[in-house]
Each structure stands twice: as C-alpha cells, then as structure tokens.
Amino acid sequence: MDMKNILIINAGSSSLKYQLIDIDNESVIAKGLCERIGIDGSVLGYKSNKGNTEIRRDMKNHEDAIKMVLDVLVDEKVGVIPDMSGIAAVGHRVVHGGEKFSESVLIDDDVIKAIEDCIPLGPLHNPANLMGIAGCRAVMPKVPMVAVFDTAWGQSMAKETYMYGLAYEAYEKYGIRRYGFHGTSHRYVTQRALKLLGTDKAKVITCHLGNGSSVSCSKDGRCVDTSMGLTPLEGLPMGTRCGNIDPAIVPYLMKRADMSAEQVDAYMNKKSGMFGISGVSSDFRDLWAAANEGNERAKLALSMFALAVKKYIGSYAAEMNGVDAIVFTAGIGENDRGVRELVLKDMDFLGIDVDFEYNQSCPRGEEVELTKKGSKVRVFVIPTDEEMAIARDTAALAR
Ligand code: ADP
C-alpha cells in the first residue's frame, strides 16, 4: 500500500493539533489547530503551501473537528490532497500507556480498551486522546491508525530506577512508579544524536526544555532514566510546575494554608515553577528581560532552573558510568543560549569543552554542535520533531 501521506493527531480536551506529513520526503504538507472544541467560538486554523485559512464554525466534539480538518485538507482552494484516499494512515499521540505499551501499536479495540484502562494514570490527557481516536474512527473507519505513547520510552528503565521508595503495595495496588513523559521527543533526538556520533553504541543525556521540561538518559538508544515520574510534575522546576520538592510539603501546605488536595495540586502545577518563583512569567524570554533589568527573583528562577538541569546531567553521568553526548532540545533548549551557558559552564570535570562563543552565535532551528573538536563529551542542539517521529512509527506499522 502506498504510504505517502500520514495524518498526525494530537488531541487535547478542547483542542486538536494536526499535521499532514508526506512520509516519502518527510515534509509537512499542511498543519493547524482546532480550538475551543465543545465550547462556543470554535475555530480551525490551517496552514499549507496552497494557502492559509481560519474557519469559525461550531465543533460539538472531536468528531466534528476531524471532519473539518478533512474538509479543509481537500478544499478546492487551500486543500493539499484531491480526496480522503490521500490519507494512508493516522498517527495519534497518546500521553499515558502505563506499563501496557513499550512501543507504538496499531490501534484496534483491545488497544482502545488498554488506553481506557490507563485513564486513572493520565486523567487529563488520555480521555482527550481517546476522543481524537474515536473521532477519526467515525470519520475514516477503514484507515489504519497507530498510537504513539509519551510513556513508551521510559518502559526500558530498570525496576530499581522506576520504583519509588514507597511501600511496595503502592506500586502493586495503584501502579505508582516512575513512567516518564516527553518520550517521543527524547527518543527522536537520541536517534539523531546517535546519527551525529556515527554509532549505535553510546550514552546520551537529552534535555527537553520547554514549557514542560524533562531530562532523560539512554544507553545504545534505550532509556535508562528520565526525570518525570508518575505524572509530569516530577523533576525540573518548569514554566508553572514546581518539579521535585520534599513530599511532606504537600500535607504541610494542606494543614498550614488550609488547602484541599485539589488546591495543592493546582498550586504545584499552575502557580509554581518559573512563574511562581519569579512572579514575572513562565516564559524564559520574559524572565531574561526582567533579569536584565535587575529583577532578583527572575534571576533566581533562571539560576534554579539551570542548576536543576546541571544536577540531572551529573547524576545521569554517574548512573551510566559516563556520557558521550548531551543534547538540548525544545523551546528553551533550542533557543535559550543563556540557559545553555548556565547549565554548561563549570562542567569541564566531565570532559566537556564547550565553545561558548559559538553557543551565542550558532544558527537556530538546525542541528549544531556546541563543543570544540576533541571534546570528550559532545554537546548538541537538536530541534525536536515529535510529529515526524509519530509519522515514522505510523508508516512503519501501517505498512
Ligand atoms: P511546549 O511544546 O511544551 O508548549 P516548547 O517546547 O514550545 O513548549 O517551549 C516553549 C517555551 O520555550 C516558552 O515558554 C519559552 O519559555 C521558551 N522559548 C521559546 N522561544 C524562546 C527564545 N527565543 N528564547 C528563550 N526561550 C524561548
């Protein structure tokens, strides 16, 4: 079967991101975002080389959204394919696969059931992902679909790595363990790093630093450890998430500040991190602007973030008995030269010889190496592309 065009769907509770990818030459033919699904004022955004458009029309649910996406893809003026047969397969981003999925799979009834079973682990995301899948199934029942899981990458972690120091029954009864997220991104940039190193056998640390941030490490392309846990709250302090804290702070806040469990959860996920520490913004561009004007809390937030990344790199290098390459990716990792400098300075003990001038002047949006020739550990900036990773898996499985 000709596997030319793959539709990638990333469904949120009231939004749906989509891309149509030509897998033959790995190019994006069209992409966009449906917003306010199920809310009044629904709108579809669309970009392609045939033209861009914005369509305001009610979308009751994800099925309506997918219908609109398909309509615009075959539209006379801005459409990029003659008819629906131009879509060979659909790849869905699914956030939580629990312990059931260690790789991408073709979607059938059993897979849908298994994703439903993981809803307690991903209460915000999995129901939305399932709506995206159901919507596509209703509109194009014959087209093969593939699920690509954010948690699949972390499934190769050893038990002593993914277990928490809680009573063992917490794992057995409730599935409480470290799963990790951003797996598709860590896997994609790790594979690119192995290409750049010219070997399959290497120890790589990947820093996915964006709105949500995580660090992961891998040996020979398989995840050894990753900083996010049962939920994406663990690990680095992030845009609005606190990252690692003393777990006893939770009951302390509940008593001391008279907060409910939901309030503490929201406090840690939405009011903390860079935003909460700085009191300025969760966006690193705003933080640097404020820091440059002398804002002490913005400086503090930036230093705390960089220190946390540095500590993960150090611990992962110890865990793997060395590291061959460190990768920076995602919004901050790809763009924020200042954060990269803070992380990488005073790390020569590891055998990293960074060209800090080049770090400041290197081009954006392409793969670059920040280390000097001969550096024992090499440092790369590699733009992530989760959609392309999903498209590759989808094409491979649907074939
Ligand atoms: P996500 O996909 O998790 O929404 P991204 O990976 O796109 O996030 O990262 C978004 C973040 O990247 C922004 O909040 C901002 O902090 C940071 N960012 C984006 N562009 C820049 C830039 N030019 N300089 C510094 N930080 C940037």
Q: What is the pLDDT along the chain (399 residues), one digit of tens a residue?
A: 567 999 999 999 899 999 999 999 999 999 999 999 999 999 999 999 999 999 999 999 999 999 999 999 999 999 999 988 899 999 999 999 999 999 999 999 999 999 999 999 999 899 999 999 999 999 999 999 999 999 999 999 999 999 999 999 999 999 999 999 999 999 999 999 999 999 999 999 999 999 999 999 999 999 999 999 999 999 999 999 999 999 999 999 999 999 999 999 999 999 999 999 999 999 999 999 999 999 999 999 999 999 999 999 999 999 999 999 999 999 999 999 999 999 999 999 999 999 999 999 999 999 999 999 999 999 999 999 999 999 999 999 998
Q: Whose CA is nearest to atom 15 of ligand 1?
A: 283
- Cα separation of 172 and 8, whole Å? 34
Q: Whose CA is nearest to atom 14 of ligand 1?
A: 283
Residue 326: closest CA among 370, 372, 373, 378: 378
Is any atom of ligand 1 closer than 6 Å to the C-beta of 12? no
Is any atom of ligand 1 closer than 6 Å to the C-beta of 286? no
- Cα separation of 21 and 268, whole Å? 37
Name the residue of 206, 280, 284, 337 whose CB sits within 8 Å of the most ligand 1 atoms, as the mutation to test its pocket.
284
C-beta separation of 287 from 278 below 8 A:
yes
In SS3 terms, the chain reads as CCCCEEEEEEECCCCEEEEEEECCCCEEEEEEEEECCCCCCCEEEEEECCCCEEEECCCCCHHHHHHHHHHHHCCCCCCCCCCHHHCCEEEEEECCCCCCCCCCEECCHHHHHHHHHCCCCCCCCHHHHHHHHHHHHHHCCCCCEEEEECCHHHHHCCHHHHCCCCCHHHHHHHCCCCCCCCHHHHHHHHHHHHHHHCCCCCEEEEEEECCCEEEEEEECCEEEEECCCCCCCCCCCCCCCCCCCCCCHHHHHHHHCCCCHHHHHHHHHHCCHHHHHHCCCCCHHHHHHHHHCCCHHHHHHHHHHHHHHHHHHHHHHHHCCCCCEEEEEHHHHHHCHHHHHHHHCCCHHHCECECHHHHHHCCCCCCEECECCCCCEEEEECCCCHHHHHHHHHHHHHC
**What is the pLDDT, as a whole number, of residue 1?**
54
CA of 330 to the centre of ligand 1 (A): 7
Annotated catalytic residue 150: yes
Q: Whose CA is nearest to atom 19 of ligand 1?
A: 331
Structure tokens at 49: 């080389």
**What is the pLDDT, as a whole number, of residue 3?**
76
Tell me which of 64, 150, 324, 385 is the catalytic residue: 150
Residue 131: closest CA among 142, 144, 119: 119
Burial class, 321, CB count within 10 angstroms (exposed 0-12 / middle 13-18 / buried 19+):
exposed
Q: Which atom of ligand 1 is nearest to the CA of 284?
A: 16
Q: Whose CA is nearest to atom 21 of ligand 1?
A: 335
Total-model pTM: 0.95
Name the residue of 336, 360, 386 whose CB sits within 8 Å of the most ligand 1 atoms, as the mutation to test its pocket.
336
Is any atom of ligand 1 closer than 6 Å to the C-beta of 285? yes
CA distances from 145 to 29, 37, 105, 108, 114 (A): 19, 22, 9, 8, 15
CA of 211 to the centre of ligand 1 (A): 6
Is any atom of ligand 1 closer than 6 Å to the C-beta of 211? yes
CA of 275 to the centre of ligand 1 (A): 14
Instruction: List Cβ neighbours of 274 (8 Å cut-off, separation of 6 or more).
Output: 237, 238, 239, 240, 281, 282, 284, 287, 301, 302, 305
Q: Which atom of ligand 1 is nearest to the CA of 330?
A: 6
Chain Cα centroid distance, residue 26? 20
Is any atom of ligand 1 closer than 6 Å to the C-beta of 283? yes
Instruction: List Cβ neighbours of 363 (8 Å cut-off, separation of 6 or more).
Output: none
Q: Token pair 């080049």 is at which residue?
A: 358
C-beta separation of 5 from 22 below 8 A:
yes
Name the residue of 275, 332, 336, 386 whose CB sits within 8 Å of the most ligand 1 atoms, as the mutation to test its pocket.
332
- Cα separation of 163 and 181, whole Å? 16
Is any atom of ligand 1 closer than 6 Å to the C-beta of 239? yes
Q: Which atom of ligand 1 is nearest to the CA of 287?
A: 16
- Cα separation of 376 and 326, whole Å? 11
CA of 107 to the centre of ligand 1 (A): 32
Question: 223-253 burial by CB neighbour count: b if 16+ within 10 A, else e?
Answer: bbbbbbbbbbbbbbbbbbbbbeeeeeeeeeb
Is any atom of ligand 1 closer than 6 Å to the C-beta of 331? yes
Is any atom of ligand 1 closer than 6 Å to the C-beta of 284? yes
Name the residue of 185, 213, 305, 335 whose CB sits within 8 Å of the most ligand 1 atoms, as the mutation to test its pocket.
335
Instruction: List Cβ neighbours of 71 (8 Å cut-off, separation of 6 or more).
Output: none
CA of 267 to the centre of ligand 1 (A): 22
- Cα separation of 284 and 129, whole Å? 29
Residue 327: closest CA among 208, 213, 224, 228: 208
CA of 13 to the centre of ligand 1 (A): 22
